[in-house]
Amino acid sequence: MIALLLLLTTQIAPEIVVAGKRLDDAYRECIQQACPPLCDAQVSIAYAERQFREGAYVKARNTLAAAASRNKRNAATAPKPLAAIYEAYATVSRHDGDMDAFRTAVGRQVRVLRDNLPPDDPAVLAAAFATGDMWAQLGNARSAELSYHAVERQALQHGNTILALQAVLRRVGLANAHGDTAGAARLMTEAEARPDASDPTLRMAMQVVRLRLAAKRADDGQVDRLVRAIDHDASTRPVLIWAPPYKPTAEMAAKINTAKFDVVDPIPTRPSDYGPIQWVDIGFWIRPDGRTSEPEILRGSRSTAWAKDLLSQISDRRYTGNAATAGDPGTYLVERFTLRGTYLVPTGSLVRRRAGPAELQVLDLTEPEKSVTAHR
């Protein structure tokens, strides 16, 4: 959401930038005076972001849902602000555990851009992978692969070979993440054979994907050498290369194991079950050599004991490094970790609510919408 706010801020004309006012006042006045769509999106996303940071996920969703409702009539004249609201709503819904709302919001984000902008508009191209990324986050690798493949075919039909190659790299990453090393290697060979593989705009992406494939089968010393070999300057944000898996809870581990054998859920959701949200913000340094240091819990919900294992996971991560100057401490990141169940209707109940085994959602609060999802 931070990225969306910054993007919208750069597009808003000076006369409609809210200056010198408290956010609460600006938000209230915007609603009362029916401010322009771009300003409404800016203020609403900022207001919802504050609620999200404070752990008020449902309130943030309500803020963004109201903004989308106010602005959906402006889809033809202001598609980008409306799409930004849908994207922010999708992010908050995913952390809140409402995966149906997450899927719907991503679909609306993509459609409002495709229906109202030219195919080569930067906003349409930027959203090209949103559907595939959504399916990947939902754990549906097959649908994600089909979506990325569709982007590749459409890009080639329109002569956009760079976007097509980016789609292939997405497919490589998906195969690698799901343990299909042979498929990932085959796709990577295909990508490297394309004429655009040497394009300067893709140089970093190609190197990172190669490194991730190599890191999958390398020991710690080999990863060190691979990280040092990659091109990376001090002005570029570090990119995650490798991280150990998150430890699943006992409930989630049991559910995963039984799913392999297609047997009855070992821990069925009862009508009285309700899953609360737990969250923490963890800050840490990425040193110039790509290693992390000083991870610490900055704040969180009432109990943060569950998050101690996350500090070890962050400590073992490996990022791309850079040619640092003397005394350079590296890059500081803050990530939001949310542990929650998903919305469902338990057997014997008619009330849809958050319940079931807890899953972990991760969002980088210090850079544009970089997030990963893992079972906890």
Decide if 312 is inside a domain: yes
Q: What is the pLDDT of residue 327?
A: 62
**Structure token digits, residue 342:** 């998903």
Q: Taking a C-beta distance cutoff of 8 angstroms, is the pair 254, 267 a contact? A: yes
Tally of CA atoms within 13 A in the half-sphere of 230 that contains its CB: 32
- Best CA proximity match to 320, nearest among 218, 217, 170, 205: 205
Q: What is the CATH number of the domain that holds 364?
A: 3.30.2420.10
Q: What is the pLDDT of residue 326?
A: 53
Decide if 243 is inside a domain: yes
Helix runs in the chain, H state only: 2-11, 23-32, 37-53, 57-71, 79-96, 99-116, 122-126, 130-137, 141-157, 161-177, 181-192, 203-215, 220-229, 250-260, 308-315
| Backbone dihedral angles phi then psi of residue 332, each to the nearest 5 degrees | -105, 130
Decide if 208 is inside a domain: no
DSSP letter, residue 273: -
Rounded to 10 degrees, the C-alpha dihedral 94/97/100/101 comes to -60
Name the residue range of residue 353's domain.
Answer: 237-376
Helix runs in 234-335, H state only: 250-260, 308-315
Number of domains observed in the structure of the chain? 1
DSSP letter, residue 291: B
Decide if 293 is inside a domain: yes
Decide if 221 is inside a domain: no
User: Can you give the pTM of this predicted structure?
Assistant: 0.82
Q: Residue 284 and residue 373: Cα distance in Å, rounded? A: 19
Q: Residue 370 and residue 343: Cα distance in Å, rounded? A: 24
Decide if 9 is inside a domain: no
| Each residue's pLDDT expressed in tens, for the chain with a length of 376 residues | 544 544 444 344 333 344 445 899 999 999 999 999 999 999 999 999 999 999 999 999 999 999 999 999 999 999 999 999 999 999 999 999 999 999 999 999 999 999 999 988 888 988 999 999 999 999 999 999 999 999 999 999 888 999 999 999 999 999 998 989 999 999 999 999 998 998 888 888 888 898 888 887 776 677 777 777 676 655 677 889 888 888 765 444 444 454 455 555 555 655 555 678 999 999 999 998 889 999 999 999 988 888 999 999 999 999 987 765 556 778 899 999 999 988 888 777 777 878 777 889 999 998 544 433 333 3
Decide if 150 is inside a domain: no
Decide if 60 is inside a domain: no
Q: What is the pLDDT of residue 372?
A: 36
Q: What is the pLDDT of residue 369?
A: 42
What is the secondary structure of 180-230 as a DSSP string?
A: -HHHHHHHHHHHHTSGGGG-GGGHHHHHHHHHHHHHTT--HHHHHHHHHHS
CA 323 to chain CA mean position, Å:
28
DSSP letter, residue 316: T
Q: What is the pLDDT of residue 263?
A: 54
CA 152 to chain CA mean position, Å:
21
Q: Residue 372 and residue 374: Cα distance in Å, rounded? A: 7
